[in-house]
Structure 1
Amino acid sequence: MIFKHSGWAKSVALLAAFAVLSSCGLPRVGPNKREIFAGSVQREGDAFIVSVNRRVTTATAIYPALGFTPAFLDAGVLGSDTIRPGDTLGLTIYENVEDGLLVPEGAPATVLNEVQVDGDGFIFVPYAGRIRAAGNSPEAIRRIITEGLGSQTPDPQVLVRRLAGDGATVSVVGGVGGSGVYPIERPTRTLSAMLAQAGGLAIPQEVAQVTVVRGNMREKVWFEDIFTHPRYDIALRDGDRILVEQDSRSFSALGATGSQQLVDFERQVISAIEAIALVGGLSTAIADPTGVFVFRNEPEEIAEAVLNRNDMVGPQRMVYVLDLTEPTGMFEARDFAIRDGDTVYVTEAPYVQFQKILGALTGATGAASTLASTASSN
């Protein structure tokens, strides 16, 4: 069979191309604005779509509340000279006689190292007997030993020093230079000093969080706040457990951005404009600056504040819309806070899909011309 009219053949091929385009969608980065708005509660979906303004920005400005309660803040610094069970003492005893009770002949003094305070708080010193050390200072222990030996040797001189023992200790683990168990000594009685003793941070300090576990209490603070707010540099207690870890918050970036990825928080607070910048900004070739969306499950109380309602029940699906072309659009995006688990999505500009359709049709038309030419030559 021979086609004598090439125009008729081109028309048939063009109609076939239209049929193909109508039956299958062209590639794209995700839903367009019309499809997103169709998911609102006013239409076919269950999400509240809200344009971001100053009131919305204020109502949603919720940041991680980290800090210590008065139970931690009001705890006084431990007296580093107070002896506790488990501490280790060093004793040096001088006697003013040649044939002393403890001092070897010809030696100026006797040294008793590694004298450990037992679980009941006592130490044993030859000729002075069992002496209560826990709760006393080294000076008080010196006087007690001197009195105990004074009745048996003339004018004994006693020196008592506290060594690093296993009495008052804390454990430090996580993102530090050296995890371990450290004694609470005069230089390390506060949180910042103990972190320094453990080698400092091994993770970025901007996103470092410090958790202190004391008994059945567990409280957390930003590392930077320890120095910004000195009252957070709390006094440590025997048995404290200190955990240093990196902030685990993240958000997803999808659509017409420089890259699509899961992004970890690099600072305590990230705005919408910073979130876009972190993934390479808007794609200049395809992004629609009027279609920047933030998808979030909002707690009931915040949803009510945003929507100015009081009948919400449970978390609500919210879609916040940012139009960067509005007179205040860039400011709103700069002030709107991104939260953990958010999805930032940028739609394609409408003309992009038109270009794809046009390109597909152009390709289909070219194919039709080739088909018609082939048919005419047969």
Structure 2
Amino acid sequence: MLLLAGCNSLPDSGPTEAQVKHAQHDPKKNNLGYGIVQVSPELIALLQSKAPPLFSSFDIATAGLSHASNDTVGPGDVLQISIYEVGSALFSPSSASMAASSASGTNTTPSSSTASSLPLVTVDGSGNIEIPFAGQIHVTGMTTNDVSLAITARLKQKSMAPQVVVRIVSDIANSVMVYGGVRHPSRITLTPNQERILDVIALAGGEDHTTQSDEDYTVRLIRNEQVAELPLKTIENDPQQNIVMQPGDRVQLVFQPRSYTVFGASGQVTQTQFSTPTLTMAEAISRVGGPIDSRADPNAVYLFRFENADVLRSLGMPIDENATTGPIIYKIDMMNPSNYFLADKFMMRDRDLIYVANASSNKFYKFFGLISTLVSPGITAAWIAK
């Protein structure tokens, strides 16, 4: 009894497997309401199915639709319209003097052609423009050539052989917003060249912190109310994720160094950065030296995480309907060889916490070592005296 009491009074680096299980069922200790789930092939499949979508999935979703040509007019665009006329011109300042001379009987020979540039025209929220003598014209979805033909058709009855040239001065409809950790956050105008996501990031000046690794940057893409995130390095390494930009896209570059923490009976208690686009649990554990043979319990390696609410509901965990995340503990038995395959499929996330439980016999060995330390000098002195 004295031996057991002495063992329990010794300090320790963390709970054993039995203590973790007991704390889960103790309402006083488990005030967050977490659950413990064994890592299994079914769990790996569930987590993979709930992973954020890849950028390539946006292209798959619109596979049957043609990509925008990036040369159409839309609300907010500013147009420069030039009109060329032959004979008596509607838009030339000389047309008024020619009309006056004609009324007075003076012969005036009209010039062969007259060019007139209208004041800049803005496409309104309904997609219309207002042109003198032509009226209101709906231009949303038209190319500049289509707009020229539409204005020309309206003026044919009022002008002699009119020709119209339309140019987009400020292109709002065919643009994307690039912001966050770039040098020049701005609106990037797309062209018929079909710029891709790395192109618009480069046009915005690239990463703001050039001394940092690309693994520390995350690209967040918002398209049609869908949101996807990928490490910048993943997009650079996988051409399928470097998708073509579409008008209205929003691209945010986020500087976010990812890290995980390790506690317990591991080779090193530390906070470690990912330094790679993706990281598995097996890689994370090996980076800190793995469980220590002398005091770890490889049967009980835990990963603490605030998991997405959808995953918790799929696992049958109680969670508030308004919550977006909730606490959970994933357990893996490293004494089972097949679980090493699972650890190589279990993906780590930013701020995950790995805990390697202490072996239940650890306190006994600590107590035995303490007794040996106290008794050994006396035995040595008695041996010398003898």
Please give the range of the TM-score, normalised by the shorter of the 2 chains: 0.5 to 0.7
2:80 matched to which residue of 1?
90
1:117 matched to which residue of 2?
122
SS in 1 for 2:72: coil
Cα displacement string for residues 156-199 of structure 1 (whole angstroms, at most 9, x for unaligned residues): 55433223344554432224453222344434577665445434
Q: CA RMSD in A?
A: 5.4
Residue 25 (1) aligns with residue 19 (2): no
Residue 321 (1) aligns with residue 332 (2): yes
Alpha-carbon distance change, 173 to 106 in structure 1, aligned in 2, over 3 angstroms: same
The one-letter code matched in structure 2 to 1:83 is V
Question: Which residues in structure 2 correspond to 1:1-378 (within 5 Å)?
Answer: 24-26=9-11, 28-36=12-20, 38-39=22-23, 52=39, 54=41, 63-66=50-53, 73=62, 76-94=66-84, 102=92, 110=115, 112=117, 115-119=120-124, 121-124=128-131, 130=135, 132=137, 134-135=139-140, 136-146=142-152, 155=161, 157-187=163-193, 194-200=200-206, 204=214, 208-212=218-222, 214=224, 217-222=225-230, 224=234, 229=240, 233=244, 235-237=246-248, 240-245=249-254, 251-262=260-271, 270-283=279-292, 287-295=296-304, 303=315, 318=329, 320-324=331-335, 326-338=336-348, 342-348=352-358, 353=363, 356-365=366-375
Task: Check conservation: 2:89, 2:114, Cα contact below 8 A.
Answer: no
The one-letter code matched in structure 2 to 1:30 is G
CA distance in 2, matches of 1:295, 1:140: 60
Q: Does 1 or 2 have the higher relative contact order (CA < 8 Å, sep 6+)?
A: 1
CA distance in 2, matches of 1:289, 1:342: 19
CA distance in 1, matches of 2:80, 2:144: 10
Larger radius of gyration: 1
Task: Check conservation: 1:247, 1:265, Cα contact below 8 A.
Answer: no
Comparing 175-184 with 222-231, greater Cα deviation is found at 222-231
Percentage of identical aligned residues: 20
Task: Check conservation: 2:216, 2:256, Cα contact below 8 A.
Answer: no
Q: Shift in Å at residue 345 of structure 1?
A: 1.2
Tell me the number of residue pairs that the alignment of Structure 1 and Structure 2 aligns. 340
Task: Check conservation: 1:103, 1:109, Cα contact below 8 A.
Answer: no
Q: Which runs of 5+ in 2 are unaligned?
A: 95-109, 320-325
Task: Check conservation: 1:260, 1:279, Cα contact below 8 A.
Answer: yes
SS in 2 for 1:172: strand
Alpha-carbon distance change, 166 to 339 in structure 1, aligned in 2, over 3 angstroms: closer
CA distance in 2, matches of 1:107, 1:31: 96
Q: Shift in Å at residue 273 of structure 1?
A: 0.8
Q: Shift in Å at residue 303 of structure 1?
A: 4.2
The one-letter code matched in structure 2 to 1:64 is A
CA distance in 2, matches of 1:110, 1:176: 43
CA distance in 2, matches of 1:259, 1:114: 71
CA distance in 2, matches of 1:114, 1:141: 16
Alpha-carbon distance change, 346 to 137 in structure 1, aligned in 2, over 3 angstroms: closer
Task: Check conservation: 1:178, 1:198, Cα contact below 8 A.
Answer: yes
Alpha-carbon distance change, 327 to 210 in structure 1, aligned in 2, over 3 angstroms: closer
CA distance in 2, matches of 1:151, 1:279: 82
Alpha-carbon distance change, 109 to 53 in structure 1, aligned in 2, over 3 angstroms: same
Alpha-carbon distance change, 111 to 167 in structure 1, aligned in 2, over 3 angstroms: farther
Alpha-carbon distance change, 246 to 157 in structure 1, aligned in 2, over 3 angstroms: same
SS in 2 for 1:84: coil
The one-letter code matched in structure 1 to 2:357 is T
Task: Check conservation: 1:187, 1:193, Cα contact below 8 A.
Answer: no
CA distance in 2, matches of 1:152, 1:58: 70
Task: Check conservation: 2:86, 2:111, Cα contact below 8 A.
Answer: no
Alpha-carbon distance change, 255 to 178 in structure 1, aligned in 2, over 3 angstroms: same
CA distance in 2, matches of 1:153, 1:275: 76
Task: Check conservation: 2:262, 2:270, Cα contact below 8 A.
Answer: yes
SS in 1 for 2:120: strand
Task: Check conservation: 2:217, 2:253, Cα contact below 8 A.
Answer: no
Q: Which runs of 5+ in 1 are unaligned?
A: 1-15, 305-311, 373-378
Task: Check conservation: 1:297, 1:317, Cα contact below 8 A.
Answer: yes
